[in-house]
């Protein structure tokens, strides 16, 4: 659940300004970088459908194709492997469904979908839909207490009947606890049996070094608004040799893999943002990691029994996921929000649904611990002052939440 309050901006001379909002929910969405805003808005007044053959259409098409080349260079793939979509959810759906249909169409025996128990719902839900409507057999591979895939379980699942496996989908960086999965091992195990691998790289691109060709995955999901681009655009990077089956049919745009008028301005903003993210990745990651360490140490100094979730070494640099025993995460979130500090209880896509995180449950947490957690996610613009503001407020907030919990009994 993610809550983002709208804090009024004081524009009245001579009155006290409202407290500054501390935004620590960058894993849900992060502000556009100025260069991406400029690239996108500079095209909003232009006319021309990229599919049109006249001069205006050709200009729009040139924007799209140059952007495709930029995205490919940023993530280490061929331009022809980049399929623009409306964002990460569509790209995940296209990967899971498109790979399944392609493999099942070539060999009806290939019906198994191997994924982890900690995937984003943009992967889990289409996999379940395939099970309900297309005869898929979905297997959720276990993770350890740090949220990291047990590769022995993947190896066993592949070896049990490799000819029946349609695809493997393992997210790169977990959006809740920040754990990075051992994709090199996943690719090695799957490729030994000729099984394609998809990874949801929405949180990883811009946070870790990305080279799709070196990594060896067959498909990678990217979302613009997670790395400084606009909402409503993303890409599925997919090797052309895979023979993906499209979900959307119509005009045949995007190599006939994603029909619909191509949004040139948004794609230009996306390409600019992902290029900047790739160029600044190492420096940005080091900055976020230092802030995260400061945040965790500061909170631990105030709340002695706080528990940090996720892998301590294999992790995204900017996500700190903390469990506060005896507290409800929703209560903590709202109390912090009232103090101008914005964070989340996990995935923003579960907003408004009061339930324990499926990620924490899969990691072995009990229901109470899974419901008593917060995710602080740092991004561009995050500062030591932001971190210190959380540390200053978290002690009384936790005490108040625990007192409320005792009264409810």
Catalytically active residues are 349
- Beta carbons of 141 and 154 less than 8 angstroms apart: yes
Helix count (H) and strand count (E) of the chain? Answer: 14, 12
How many Å apart are CA 200 and CA 173, to the nearest integer? 8
Residue appearing with tokens 């057999």: 137
DSSP 311-339: -SSSB-TTEEEEE-TT--HHHHHHHHHHT
Q: Which of 261, 251, 254 is nearest to 65 (CA)?
A: 254
How many CB atoms within 10 Å of residue 388?
A: 14
The residue count of the chain comes to 409
Distance from C-alpha of 206 to C-alpha of 215, rounded to nearest angstrom: 15
Alpha carbon 124 to chain centroid, angstroms: 14
Query: Residue 334: is it exposed, middle or buried by C-beta count within 10 angstroms (0-12/13-18/19+)?
Result: middle
Helix (H, G, I), strand (E, B) or coil at 169: strand
* Neighbouring residues of 393: CB distance < 8 A, sequence distance ≥ 6: 336, 339, 341
Cβ-based burial of 160 (10 A; exposed 0-12, middle 13-18, buried ≥19): exposed
Q: Are 319 and 375 in contact (CB under 8 A)?
A: yes
Contact (Cβ atoms closer than 8 angstroms) between residue 89 and residue 95: no
Closest CA to 318 of 215, 205, 219, 235: 205
**8 Å CB contact between 271 and 71:** yes
């Amino acid at each position: 659940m993610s809550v983002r309050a709208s804090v009024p901006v004081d524009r009245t001379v001579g009155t006290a300004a409202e407290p500054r909002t501390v935004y620590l929910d960058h894993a849900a969405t992060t502000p556009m970088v100025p260069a991406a805003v400029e690239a996108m808005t500079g095209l909003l007044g232009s006319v021309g459908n990229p599919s049109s053959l006249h001069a205006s259409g050709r200009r729009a098409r040139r924007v799209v194709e140059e952007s495709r080349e930029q995205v490919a260079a940023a993530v280490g793939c061929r331009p022809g492997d980049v399929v623009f979509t409306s964002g990460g959810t569509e790209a995940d759906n296209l990967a899971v469904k498109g790979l399944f249909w392609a493999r099942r169409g070539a060999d009806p025996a290939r019906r198994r979908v191997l994924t982890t128990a900690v995937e984003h719902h943009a992967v889990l839900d289409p996999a379940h839909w395939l099970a309900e409507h297309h005869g898929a057999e979905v297997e959720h591979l276990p993770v350890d207490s740090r949220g990291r895939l047990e590769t022995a379980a993947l190896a066993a699942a592949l070896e049990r009947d490799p000819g029946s496996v349609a695809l493997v989908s393992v997210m790169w960086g977990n959006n809740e606890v920040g754990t990075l999965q051992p994709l090199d091992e996943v690719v090695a195990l799957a490729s030994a049996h000729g099984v394609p691998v998809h990874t949801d790289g929405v949180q990883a691109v811009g946070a870790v070094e990305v080279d799709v060709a070196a990594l060896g995955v067959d498909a990678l999901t990217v979302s613009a608004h997670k790395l400084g681009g606009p909402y409503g655009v993303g890409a599925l990077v997919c090797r052309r040799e895979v023979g993906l089956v499209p979900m959307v049919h119509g005009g045949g745009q995007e190599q006939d893999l994603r029909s619909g008028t191509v949004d040139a301005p948004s794609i230009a903003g996306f390409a600019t943002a992902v290029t900047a993210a790739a160029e600044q990745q190492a420096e940005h990651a080091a900055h976020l990691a230092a802030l995260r360490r400061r945040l965790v140490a500061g909170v631990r100094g105030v709340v002695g029994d706080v528990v940090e979730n996720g892998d301590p070494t294999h992790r995204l640099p900017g996500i700190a996921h903390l469990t506060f025993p005896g507290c409800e995460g929703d209560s903590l979130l709202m109390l912090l929000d009232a103090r101008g500090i914005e964070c989340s209880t996990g995935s923003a896509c579960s907003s408004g649904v009061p339930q324990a995180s499926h990620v924490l449950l899969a990691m072995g947490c009990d229901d109470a611990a899974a419901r008593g957690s917060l995710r602080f996610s740092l991004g561009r613009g995050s500062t030591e002052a932001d971190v210190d503001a959380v540390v200053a407020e978290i002690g009384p907030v936790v005490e108040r939440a625990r007192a409320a919990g005792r009264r409810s009994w």
